[in-house]
Amino acid sequence: MSRVRADEEEYWHSSKFRAFTFDDEDDELSQLKESKRTVNSLRDIVDDDDDDLERVSWSGEPVGSISWSIKETASGSTSSLDGRDSSLQKGSSSYAALPKQGSSYSLSSLFKVESGLLHATQLCPSLSALSDTGVKSYAPELRRPRAEYKDYSSDWSPKDTVRRMQRGKVCSLERFRSLQDKLVLLDEAVAGHDGNVITAVLIFLKRTLRREILFRELEVRQVALCHLIHFLREMGEQKFLLDLLRFLDRTEEVALSQYREHLNIQDVEKRREFLKGCIGLPFSAEDTSHIQDHYTLLERQIIIEANDRHLEMAGQSELFRKYPRKASILNMPLVTTLFYSCFYHYTEAEGMFSSPTNLKKTFKIPDKQYVLTALAARAKLRAWGDVDALLTTKNWLGYTKKKAPIGFHRVVEILQRNNAPVQVLQEYVRLVEDVDTRLNLATKYKCHDVVIETYRDLKDRIQLTAYKDKVERGSAEEEKIHSILSNMVRNAYS
């Protein structure tokens, strides 16, 4: 009998598993290894074959039953972990298992208590009924380092709080209640040069301080002030931003912030009236001119849109029938409006609001921009006569010549993109002054006459002979090359 008792004592007082201790250790790696070893050892405790297990809830009710569903739903929002049993009721197979992923419970929720989070190894004796599947699913939760379970409401100093926030730790700022503590926290955040931390602290101050106090303190902290202004603009807190700018006496920024509100106005008539009211705001002289132009442009667009919509619906314009409008002209930029006018209203008199020359004069559009836009519009319509007239100028003696403020090389590129004929392209390729650029363009777009004439002017027999192989046999270009080479030979012997 004594031998049996000795065997029992030896069985209960011996274990092949290492016991857990709750003493803090400096070596976190050893803690992680110990947790991993404990999790792996659970596989030997739990039977691998869990097909015959009856899944039960914490109360012992079979999972999926009506009574279990009612109890779980009712207790989900009111019960806490302290009120639940720490062990499972035994089922028909004499033991129970934790619910798997289909249940609303997880192993991590088992370790939560109201005062914080306990380390997983503290509850290890209650894990003797875990299945192998549960161990694999929740092992990463068990291996989390103990440092992450510190109480977030600890008495951290402002400097330590900022450092923890920079490392991505969750910190409660509510304990900073006095104005002095809040300002010290803000100064530490600014000194840390972390924009996210500065913004987080500013949001806290914005919520807990009166506006006049916050504005007064930010006035002497320009870095934090710039962060708050940017944050308010991004979040669209227009009223708070305007109050701040008025306090700082930044009248021009107040006006610009009010002007930005037109972007939120969808109705075109209301937007026009709003812009009209913005003209009287205290802008700088340059900004006042831009606001005036914006209002004038929108007013013109409303008139043009109404007239063109009527013409398009009535079918009275051949141009609108052949090239239907793809979008409304309302709220379009000035360059888009100019292109539209050059496309649909190019020949109208200057006195008409939709005339391109009227737009050029009213908004003081530079010649370079006007020629570039008009050329693109008329080339798209393949109106080569208008292109020629656009690039032709007359001097005071009555002589005409071609002139392109944007450069003839860009003229050639625009014409080629709009599938201009070779004859039209050659006319403008010849006008390119730089020889290398002219040869490159002529070769690229197969303007053979320009290439041959350029080599002739350069008296380059070698290049002419080589280029003869690139033209079609028996063509006029080949005959022209033969004639030029023959004349070069005669001139050399004469």
Q: Give the pLDDT mean for 307-321.
A: 88
Measure the N-to-C terminal CA separation of the chain; round to a whole number of Å.
Answer: 141
CA distance 432 to 426: 10
Average pLDDT, the chain: 76
Band (pLDDT 50/70/90 cuts) for residue 40 is low
**What is the predicted pLDDT for the residue at 367?**
94
Question: What are the tokens at 102?
Answer: 């289909």
* Alpha carbons 158 and 173: distance in angstroms, whole number: 9
Give the pLDDT of residue 6.
59
Within this chain, do residues 383 and 439 fall inside the same structural domain, yes or no?
Answer: yes
Tally of domains in the chain: 3
C-alpha closest to that of 356 among 374, 368, 332, 372: 374
| 165 and 241 assigned to the same domain | yes
Cα gap 308→340, rounded to integer Å: 11
| E strand residue ranges, 290-372 | none
Residue 281 lies inside a defined structural domain of this protein? no
pLDDT band at 51 (very low <50, low <70, confident <90, very high): very low
Q: Are residues 239 and 203 part of one domain?
A: yes
- Weakest-pLDDT range from 58-67, 366-375, 431-440: 58-67
Q: How confident is the model at residue 400 (pLDDT cuts 50, 70, 90)?
A: confident
> Is 258 a member of any domain?
no
Q: Is 219 found in the same domain as 236?
A: yes
pLDDT at 68: 43
410 and 469 inside one domain: no
| pLDDT value, residue 7 | 62
Is 72 a residue whose pLDDT tops 90? Answer: no
The percentage of residues in the chain with a pLDDT greater than 90, rounded to a whole number, is 44
Within 8 A by CB and 6+ apart from 372, the residues are 406, 410, 414
Q: How far is CA 244 from CA 180, 221, 366, 437, 447, in A?
A: 21, 14, 40, 57, 65
pLDDT given at position 492: 66
Note whether 92 and 52 are within 8 A (CB).
no
> Is 432 part of any domain?
yes
Tokens encoding 174? 């509510």
Question: Is pLDDT of 94 > 70?
Answer: no
Of 219, 249, 279, the residue that ends a domain is: 249
Rg for the chain, CA atoms, rounded: 42
**pLDDT at 88 exceeding the cut of 90:** no
pLDDT of residue 333 exceeding 50: yes
Domain boundary among 198, 217, 249: 249
Task: Give the three-state DSSP class for 113.
Answer: strand
- At residue 38, the pLDDT reads 52
Q: Are residues 193 and 240 in the same domain?
A: yes
Same domain, yes or no: 180 and 236: yes
- Per-residue pLDDT at 415: 95
Please give the structure tokens belonging to residue 299.
Answer: 């007013």
Q: Measure CA 473 to chain center.
A: 57
Boundary residue ending a domain (413, 429, 444)? 444
- Asked whether residue 475 falls in the same domain as residue 408, the answer is no
Give the span between the Cα atoms of 22 and 16, in whole angstroms. 19
More confident residue, 142 or 261: 261
Residue 28 has pLDDT above 70, yes or no: no
Per-residue pLDDT tens digits for 174-223: 889 999 999 999 999 999 999 999 999 999 999 999 999 999 999 999 99
Domain with 430, as residue range(s), is: 378-444
Are 99 and 63 in contact, with CB atoms under 8 Å apart? yes
What are phi and psi for residue 402, nearest 5 degrees? -85, 135
What would the pLDDT profile of 210-238 be if each residue is shown by its tens digit?
999 999 999 999 999 999 999 998 998 98
pLDDT value at residue 36:
52
Give the range with max mean pLDDT: 55-64, 109-118, 365-374: 365-374
Tell me, letter by letter, the H, E, C secondary structure of 3-24.
Answer: HHHHHHHHHHCCCCCCCCCCCC
Shared domain for 202 and 234, answered yes or no, is yes
Residue 273 has what pLDDT? Answer: 93
Query: Averaged over 365-375, what is the pLDDT?
Result: 95
- Tell whether 487 and 418 lie within a shared domain: no
| Per-residue confidence band for 493, with pLDDT thresholds at 50, 70 and 90 | low
Residue 394's DSSP bridge partners are 400
Helices H, strands E: what count in the chain?
A: 25, 4
Mean pLDDT of 275-281: 89
pLDDT tens digits, one per residue of 425-443: 999 999 999 999 999 999 9
Residue 387 lies in a domain: yes
Cβ-count burial of 199 within 10 angstroms (0-12 exposed, 13-18 middle, 19+ buried)?
middle
Beta bridge partners of 402: 392
What is the pLDDT averaged over residues 274-298? 91
Answer whether residue 194 is part of any domain.
yes
- Residue 11's pLDDT band (cuts 50, 70, 90): low
Residue at 213 is within a domain? yes
Reply yes or no on whether the pLDDT at 473 is more than 80.
Answer: yes
Q: Within this chain, do residues 163 and 233 fall inside the same structural domain, yes or no?
A: yes
> Distances in Å between the alpha carbon of 144 and those of 36, 134, 149?
10, 17, 9
According to the model, what pLDDT value does residue 64 have?
Answer: 46
CA-to-CA separations, 179 to 158, 174, 183, 238, in angstroms, rounded: 13, 12, 6, 26
Q: Are residues 457 and 431 in the same domain?
A: no
Q: Do the domain assignments include residue 311?
A: no
Residue 59 included in any domain: no
